Amino acid sequence: MSVEHKRRALITGASSGIGKATALAFAKAGIDVALVSRSLDKLTPVCEAVSHTGVEAKAYEVDLACVAQVQEKMQAIALDGDIDILVNNAGMGYTATLTETPLSDWQQVIDLNLTSVFQCIMGILPSMRTRGTGTIINISSISAKQAFPNWGAYSVSKAGLIALSQTLAQEERAHGIRVTAICPGAVNTELWDTATVNANFDRSKMLTPEIVAQSILHAALLPQQAVIDELTIMPSAGAL
Ligand code: NDP
């Protein structure tokens, strides 16, 4: 698949999982990519793989958990080249019952999964508004819509992201900016191996990051007069 004119996408959390698969899918569609995560070491091989497709790829080391700095860092990335598509994908998994969730953990989850997205958007939106066009895709989760025990803080962060997406869509429509929230069920990524996640699901039944990346690309490439407000994508094997 190819696009008529050169576009540039900024993808957060592009060093692994859904973000990495999205970077590769976008590159194959001829879209230049700006890749963000905490680690240049992890981003560099992704950048190299993307570059093989012939598009321009650039890596940026940003800790999105430092929310007070995020807006400025995003503005700096946009100075390297206009961002047509912003994919807010970086995030963390977190499991614990609400009674076992310390306030500091709660704040960490909300900061990264929700507040950093708000600030990424605030960094990129002004330049999209100036050009009167742009697509913002936020990676939420099925847990935003469905309660699962042990996933309280995470669910709240992802439900907040849907509310953020809906409000932004209403406010920015008149400026030519489209907003999409994607809600995947379980995806087989490193998220399930992280120290903050304790869950024992059958990973072979999960979605793959490549499948989710195709949905993200589809939302990004829709003709300008159409928008996917919200897209839920689930493993067909069952409620994961
Ligand atoms: P991964 O753990 O594979 O990827 C997470 C990405 O986020 C990595 O690139 C990581 O990069 C980056 N990241 C983490 N913390 C920070 C930070 N503080 N600053 C900058 N970047 C950071 O997870 P997934 O691909 O599964 O998750 C991607 C998104 O999809 C998340 O928002 C997740 O909540 C959501 N999601 C995942 C599902 C799943 O089942 N896996 C289901 C539904 C939604 P680095 O370590 O290099 O900083």
Q: Would you list the domain boundaries of the chain?
A: 66-233
Q: How far is CA 107 from CA 13, 56, 122, 153, in A?
A: 19, 36, 20, 9
Q: What is the per-residue pLDDT for 239?
A: 62
Atom of ligand 1 nearest to the CA of 63: 19
Atom of ligand 1 nearest to the CA of 207: 40
d(CA 114, CA 100): 21
Question: For the segment 68-104, what is each residue's pLDDT rounded down to a tens digit?
Answer: 999 999 999 999 999 999 999 999 999 999 999 999 9
Q: What is the per-residue pLDDT for 238?
A: 75
Q: What is the per-residue pLDDT for 2?
A: 45
* Run of H or E including 32: strand 32-37
Q: How far is CA 149 from CA 94, 111, 210, 240, in A?
A: 12, 21, 28, 13
Pocket of ligand 1 (CB under 6 A): 13-19, 37-39, 42, 62-65, 89-92, 112, 139, 141, 184, 186-187, 189-191, 209
Q: What is the per-residue pLDDT for 32?
A: 98
Residues of the chain with pLDDT under 70: 1-4, 239-240
d(CA 12, CA 29): 18
Rounded distance from Cα 4 to ligand 1 centre (Å)? 30
Q: Which CATH architecture has domain 66-233?
A: 3-Layer(aba) Sandwich (3.40)
Atom of ligand 1 nearest to the CA of 15: 9
| Whether 238 contacts 216, CB under 8 Å | no
Rounded distance from Cα 226 to ligand 1 centre (Å)? 28
Q: Could you give the 3-state DSSP secondary structure of residue 102?
A: coil
d(CA 95, CA 30): 38
Q: Which residues contact 122 (CB under 8 A, 6 or more apart)?
A: 71, 74
| Whether 186 contacts 198, CB under 8 Å | no
